[in-house]
Structure 1
């Protein structure tokens, strides 16, 4: 009987592992193996066709001597800060408004806010191609003409490129973060807000002393995902700048993509990916240390 019971337990455990095995199998094939292979490939010179040639740390020496690589890192940080920080702040206020009685037709507004996230990236490219067109009839240049500002070459000048891409990132992802914040706010007891209103707390005081402390885990999640997403920015620069990927707007992921699939230099592309991997680890650790302190010293109520 004991052996049969143990056998039944093993069969139950085996069934559970079989049910969850597809995820781990797919992750091992399409996630874990490419990561391990990238580490391996970073020490070789390979164009995808000819035999690999071991070159040691030459690929790392190449990217660290390439000014375009440092430009890509700088662009990634600047665009990430310009597109992510305002996005999180605006998303927090939008979620607070949608969770309160300040906005009528809240369900409709929730749908509209989330719509950019599910919009086709091709449609996004067309929209922002019109908005940030270099010609005087482009929407942004047309608006600036009312302030006696001449046409700006949005895809060719240093700061305009970053502003355009950061605006695209902001518009596309602010709704997603709003819904995440909104889900977190809906778990906060409404009694806290009612008590704060009775005590005469303003909306900003409610957000500062109730919403932010209670949303600390959600804020940590949003900051982590937004940071990692900003460091992996690729689609927006590629769509806005085209395959040329001018140095004013190229990001790290776009840089390694260009090395791999335009220049057929998979070794240097893998080396850039490894550097990006360690940058993400460092920034994620810093984010954890900072966001873990948010709301700790606040007293709710």
Structure 2
């Protein structure tokens, strides 16, 4: 009977080994070979695929674009999600309606979101450029300028995921003991000070979770940049091509090279792993810095 708890949790580990661990290890094996779509496994080439990938400009351009879009999306997203959750936690009328409303963008298909925002940020007929020219401001080359394209793609990501993260923060806020807020109110603490000195410190563990998951998801972004234009190649000069798009190009492009695509996949895995660990230790240190600060008048 002492093995019963292990039997209850074993399905997760069995599924993880089949659908998670095995593909990772198999991809590592493929990355060490000259792998063809038709012939399958070819000659063992060692680290030659990694050397090829690391020697191309496309890899570093994709890496730069990925981090740029990730920062432009994740940072505002977490801040906006906390603020939205704080508003939803207040005594609003029709609470359920508003809480369900913020989740609507998340259930919309990412392809549909990308197509809609691609029209909003169109260079010649987009809504944003139309509004800018209406107030005598120059139009922005959303598909020609690298930074502008990153902002447009980050806006799509924020639109889809901010409400989802807001509900996570809302659940964490509702788990905060009401006695802490009551004590702060009795002590004469204002609403803003209660937010900064009570709510935010109590959300530290949840912030750790959201930051880590946002990092993992942000570095794997594919749908939004892929659908940002009709070509799906990341722009004329690949100004918004991400790591996953580069991986897709190597794996299913004109010259199929599964070994090189697997090398990119493993490099991306190592980058995500490194940043995930770094985020974990940084945010955990912040989370352990102390509980909610004492309220002050």
After TM superposition, the score normalised by the length of structure 2 is 0.90
How far off is 1:146 after superposition?
2.8
How far off is 1:23 after superposition?
4.1
Q: For structure 1, which runs of at least 5 residues remain unmatched after alignment?
A: 1-8
Question: Matches of residues 228-267 of structure 1 in structure 2 within 5 Å?
Answer: 228-241=216-229, 242-246=231-235, 247-262=238-253, 263-267=255-259
Question: Matches of residues 7-86 of structure 1 in structure 2 within 5 Å?
Answer: 9=1, 13=4, 17=7, 22-50=11-39, 51-86=41-76
- Deviation string, structure 1 residues 9-43 (Cα, Å, up to 9, x no partner): 38x839x73x6555444433322221001111111
Cα pair 1:213 1:294 within 8 Å, conserved: no
How far off is 1:238 after superposition?
0.8
1:47/1:24 CA distance change after superposition, 3 Å: same
Question: Matches of residues 92-103 of structure 1 in structure 2 within 5 Å?
Answer: 92-101=82-91, 103=92
| 1:168 equivalenced with 2:156 (yes/no) | yes
Task: State the distance in 1 between where 2:190 and 2:270 align.
Answer: 43
Cα pair 1:75 1:250 within 8 Å, conserved: yes
Task: State the distance in 2 between where 1:91 and 1:104 align.
Answer: 20
Partner of 1:297: 290
| 1:196 equivalenced with 2:187 (yes/no) | no
| 1:87 equivalenced with 2:77 (yes/no) | yes
The structure with more radius of gyration: 1
Task: State the distance in 2 between where 1:118 and 1:202 align.
Answer: 37
Q: For structure 2, which runs of at least 5 residues remain unmatched after alignment?
A: none
- Deviation string, structure 1 residues 142-177 (Cα, Å, up to 9, x no partner): 111133233333223211110110000111000110
| 1:280 equivalenced with 2:272 (yes/no) | yes
1:25/1:48 CA distance change after superposition, 3 Å: farther
| 1:153 equivalenced with 2:141 (yes/no) | yes
Alignment RMSD (CA, Å): 2.0
Task: State the distance in 1 between where 2:10 and 2:280 align.
Answer: 31
Corresponding residue to 1:227 among 215, 219, 226: 215
Task: State the distance in 2 between where 1:275 and 1:180 align.
Answer: 30
Cα pair 2:202 2:292 within 8 Å, conserved: no
Task: State the distance in 2 between where 1:244 and 1:122 align.
Answer: 15
Cα pair 2:66 2:242 within 8 Å, conserved: yes
How far off is 1:250 after superposition?
0.9
Cα pair 1:209 1:298 within 8 Å, conserved: no
| 2:152 aligned counterpart, secondary structure | helix
| 2:271 aligned counterpart, secondary structure | helix
Cα pair 2:27 2:266 within 8 Å, conserved: yes
The alignment of Structure 1 onto Structure 2 pairs a total of residues equal to: 288
